[in-house]
Amino acid sequence: MAIVGGALYSRWTGQQMSLLLVGWTGILIAFYDLAGKYLVAPGLLVLGLIRFFHAIIPAPELPLLWHPLLLLNHVTILSVVAYVWEEKRPALTKAHWWGVLGGLAAVDVLSLALVYYRRTTLAENPWTDGLRLEPALLIPLACVLAFVAIGWSIRKNTPNSREAGQKLMLYGLLWLIVYDVAFVAGFVGWIQALALLILLPLAYASVQLMRWWGRLIALSQRPDFKRADA
């Protein structure tokens, strides 16, 4: 469905790069599912890259780099913190921390350098004005601070570390919609932002529905009895 949607979008808009990005994002998802989740540091970084490339599919010219860059950093850092709180194994070592945070910093610097290079060297046809700093950026910045407060509240009010990590991951992924709304409100319009905000309760309801369905399916399965040790 994603490939078909990407092909139609590319045809309607003339953005062939969008279809290539759909394919590339699919490759990253497949890599994470097949290998990345077992490689710890590369897997955590790939989670952020998946969201980064997913966000630029509709606008490969990167009209505003700060949006996909924020999503990249949010998902990567969120995944690391949730990994630690949920006490997943293998535990993160110093090498893992350096790998994730160093890789994240490298992607950030390379993205900024690429946009700056294309912007300054192609003056006759600027690739993007995506590095502009405007007061509208204060809206997503406020959302970042708000989520930090939410994360702190979750950890403080949840006695079980593993449960706190699960809650943080759920709310952190839903918070991506809040970031989208913040950028739309600041750079497009409030009406469009309010329309986009409808996705937040829909996404939350979908998660709860999937959890309920998962529990229902588990109850319907035949019990698996094991012989007790003598």
Kindly report, residue by residue over 10-38, the tens digit of the pLDDT: 889 888 899 999 999 999 999 999 988 88
* Within-domain flag for 156: yes
Assess whether 125 and 208 both reside in one domain.
no
* Within-domain flag for 226: no
Assess whether 71 and 176 both reside in one domain.
no
In which domain, by residue range, is 166 found? 134-217
User: 115, 132, 149 — which closes off a domain?
Assistant: 132
User: 132, 148, 169 — which closes off a domain?
Assistant: 132
Assess whether 126 and 142 both reside in one domain.
no
- Quote the CA–CA distance of 102 and 7 in Å, as a whole number: 35
Average pLDDT for the chain: 88
Assess whether 162 and 213 both reside in one domain.
yes
Rounded alpha-carbon distances, angstroms, from residue 162 to 39, 69, 81, 214:
21, 28, 11, 20
Assess whether 125 and 143 both reside in one domain.
no
Rounded alpha-carbon distances, angstroms, from residue 35 to 23, 30, 31, 96, 204:
18, 8, 6, 16, 28
Assess whether 116 and 146 both reside in one domain.
no
Mean pLDDT, to the nearest integer, of 142-149?
Answer: 96
Assess whether 126 and 76 both reside in one domain.
yes
**Count of domains in the chain?**
2
Assess whether 121 and 208 both reside in one domain.
no
* Within-domain flag for 164: yes
Assess whether 50 and 84 both reside in one domain.
yes
Assess whether 90 and 181 both reside in one domain.
no
61 φ, ψ (degrees, to nearest 5): -75, -5
Assess whether 12 and 122 both reside in one domain.
yes
| pLDDT at 161 exceeding the cut of 50 | yes
- Quote the CA–CA distance of 115 and 128 in Å, as a whole number: 7
Rounded alpha-carbon distances, angstroms, from residue 157 to 29, 49, 169, 226:
33, 31, 16, 38
pLDDT confidence bin for 116, thresholds 50/70/90: confident
> Considering only 16-20, 44-48, 107-111, 129-133, which range has the smallest mean pLDDT?
129-133
Assess whether 39 and 107 both reside in one domain.
yes
Mean pLDDT, to the nearest integer, of 173-198?
Answer: 94
| pLDDT at 95 exceeding the cut of 60 | yes
User: 88, 113, 132 — which closes off a domain?
Assistant: 132
Mean pLDDT, to the nearest integer, of 122-147?
Answer: 80
* Within-domain flag for 227: no
Q: 157 CB contacts (<8 Å, ≥6 apart)?
A: none
